[in-house]
Structure 1
């Protein structure tokens, strides 16, 4: 499995864990530095580097349980 994920994949991972979020909002939050597992810049379209293992660890810490959807990790 690739060490990074797309904005869409990250959004789907969050939704699988009952976190309602849209891709534009997730992208904006990444650009603002709200997540320790991703970096991004705004251009015509956003450009993001989202680390899969970091996203899973962050979700598990925030949820206090194993996160759903990590089997695609």
Structure 2
């Protein structure tokens, strides 16, 4: 596993709690894809004034559709 630091703009969608990790579900602008990030590995957060509100529902629907298609 790479320990390389990256900087990226993400649009947070939700948190996932597991027995050993807290994960952030988001849409990553760099990859143009849905990603899960370990909260413990996030070194810095810099909020900006961009509102996710107009896109959040469509992004969540897109994520759920992708998950459904992956399961067959």
| TM-score when normalising by structure 2 | 0.29
Q: Which has the larger radius of gyration?
A: 2
Q: Give the number of the structure whose residues are more often strand, by fraction.
A: 2
- Bigger relative contact order, structure 1 or 2 (CA pairs below 8 A, ≥6 apart): 1
Q: Give the number of the structure whose residues are more often helix, by fraction.
A: 1
